[in-house]
Amino acid sequence: MAKLKPSKGAPYARVLGVGGYRPTRVVPNEVILERIDSSDEWIRSRSGIQTRHWANDEETVAAMSIEASGKAIADAGISAEQIGGVIVSTVSHFKQTPAVATEIADKLGTDKAAAFDISAGCAGFGYGLTLAKGMIVEGSAEYVLVIGVERLSDLTDLEDRATAFLFGDGAGAVVVGPSQEPAIGPTVWGSEGDKSETIKQTVAWNEYDSSTDKFPAITQEGQAVFRWAVFEMAKVAQQALDAAGISPDDLDVFIPHQANERIIDSMVKTLKLPEHVTVARDVRTTGNTSAASIPLAMERLLATGEAKSGDTALVIGFGAGLVYAATVVTLP
């Protein structure tokens, strides 16, 4: 029996650079209120959202990803030719095939990088980060680009009072590369498919009839999602801390999926995070951007100085599926 040659990857992986792109159009709650019976005060009290960004025709999933990725590559101090893998998490790229990752890899100037899309909703960035870490440690790539990108304005029913105010557009990207010490902890991830109906697309593409149906949109059972996120995801976050061998006192930064500020506040309370921990609240001005929300929030914290290079951060994403992923990372 032949023996396979062992892989020669790096001992560990780390996030080396981060970049973000927010569409130029800023949409305040007043615009949302033109189509639903609500108020600015109600939206802010229920979600914390004040504004969100919506993409124009030129700000495609690919275009936004390329902008964010260019910043992440520059931040990492490498060239695009060194990227060996491109992983894109999105639910709003409407072509079933080819993967938008291949277009992005080509336009960035990578040297025939492996490129593929994943669909893991709001946990997609965590899924991509875990895959990238595995590729680097296994040795199939030295540097991997992980992108979370959404144009959720295309999938928003502006007359649905429960969701019209939630979603925004944008792209966030990180470069993951080799490390001589642990800098991305074990991932605690999973799925609860028995709850898949709580967040879903209203009409399947193969069932959509443009003559009778509204364009497919994302809908959710708000209270059920809130309860699940608050009670179950706090447990997952704690499991990620335990897996990394640290306590809440060791944390510098908490970057949860930017779904709803009430959920964020509840998780902070349940986890008993110390006051010194910086908490990402990008949801206030960016809205819920699904797979893009964690890298966008990370980029903003570093850009504003609220977080700094070398900080220890807990990141957790959760959403449609229902799926989740949490890990501890050292910030670039």
Cα distances (Å, whole numbers) of residue 219 to 54, 69, 149, 152, 164: 18, 30, 19, 12, 9
288 assigned to active site = yes
Annotated catalytic residue, options 29, 53, 257, 260 = 257
Separation between Cα atoms, residue 158 and residue 163, nearest integer Å: 8
- Contact present, 174 and 300 (Cβ < 8 Å): no
37: how many CB neighbours lie within 10 A of its CB? 8
- Contact present, 323 and 244 (Cβ < 8 Å): no
Give 5's DSSP letter: P
206 assigned to active site = no
- Contact present, 305 and 103 (Cβ < 8 Å): no
Q: Can you tell me which residue has the tokens 């440690």?
A: 137
DSSP track, 140-158:
S-SEEEEEEEEEGGGG--T
53 assigned to active site = no
Annotated catalytic residue, options 29, 93, 122, 260 = 122
- Per 3-state DSSP, the chain is made up of helix, strand and coil in percentages (nearest 5) of 40, 25, 35
104 burial type by CB count under 10 A (0-12 exposed, 13-18 middle, 19+ buried): buried
> Residue 257 corresponds to which tokens in the numbers above?
């999926």
296 burial type by CB count under 10 A (0-12 exposed, 13-18 middle, 19+ buried): buried
Catalytic residues: 122, 257, 288
